[in-house]
Every structure is written in structure tokens, then in C-alpha cells.
């Protein structure tokens, strides 16, 4: 056996993944991650006051950070995209009131 550092595994020597990375070894599936929920809030903002919209953005930001901390990156990305859309809508609302 050669002396020195151990050989690092190469991508070819690693076994293939056994399933989707988000579900592998996870038993705490969250209903928030259900497909089709992204954009749900975007349809509910018609007529919403800007203060309520800002509060919704903050709540979704908290959910996004929590999802990322729980390694639910797909959910975090969907929430990030939804937050971006809501922020654009909030900016448009603020411009319209000027």
C-alpha cells in the first residue's frame, strides 16, 4: 500500500444516487413543498394594501430561509422566485401611488 495521502474518489468511482436528493433520507416532508404551490400568493394580491403585501413578503422570506436551513433547496428556490415577483408588484404599487 502506498504511503501518503489516500486517493480521493473520482466522480466515476462514486455510486449513482438512489433517489431524488430532496427525499433521500428525509421523512419530514413538508406540505409547503407540494408541487403547484409556487405562485399561489401571486394570484391573491389583487387589491391587497402595500403594507399587507410587505408583510407577506417578509413571511415568505422567513419560510425561504427555513426551507434552505432544512436543505429543501427546491422549495427555497420557488419561494425566492415568488418573493421576487411580489417585490416587483410592490414596487409597481409604490410607483403608482407617487
Q: What is the pLDDT of residue 15?
A: 53
pLDDT per position as a tens digit, 41-93: 555 777 788 899 999 999 999 999 999 999 999 999 999 999 999 999 999 98
Is residue 58 in some structural domain? yes
Q: Is position 30 within any domain?
A: no
Q: State the pLDDT at residue 45.
A: 76
Q: Considering the domain boundaries, does residue 21 fall inside one?
A: no
Whether residue 78 is contained in a domain is answered as yes
Output the 3-class SS for 19-78.
CCCCCCCCCCCCHHHCCCCCCCHHHHCCCCCHHHHHHHHHHHHHHHHHHHHCCCHHHHHH
**Largest Cα–Cα separation, the chain:** 75
Mean pLDDT calculated for residue range 22-31:
43
Q: Domain containing 85: what range? A: 50-98
Total number of domains in the chain: 1
Sequence-distant (6+) residues with CB within 8 A of 81 are 38
26: pLDDT strictly greater than 50: no
pLDDT at 80: 97
Q: Is 77 a domain residue?
A: yes
pLDDT at 30: 44
Amino acid at each position: 500500500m502506498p504511503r501518503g495521502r489516500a486517493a480521493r474518489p473520482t466522480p466515476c468511482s462514486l455510486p449513482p444516487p438512489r433517489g431524488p436528493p430532496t427525499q433521500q433520507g428525509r421523512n419530514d416532508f413538508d406540505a409547503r413543498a407540494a408541487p403547484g404551490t409556487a405562485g399561489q400568493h401571486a394570484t391573491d394580491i389583487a387589491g391587497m394594501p402595500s403594507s399587507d403585501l410587505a408583510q407577506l413578503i417578509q413571511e415568505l422570506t422567513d419560510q425561504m430561509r427555513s426551507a434552505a436551513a432544512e436543505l429543501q433547496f427546491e422549495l427555497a428556490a420557488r419561494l425566492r422566485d415568488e418573493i421576487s415577483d411580489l417585490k416587483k408588484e410592490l414596487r409597481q404599487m409604490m410607483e403608482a401611488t407617487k
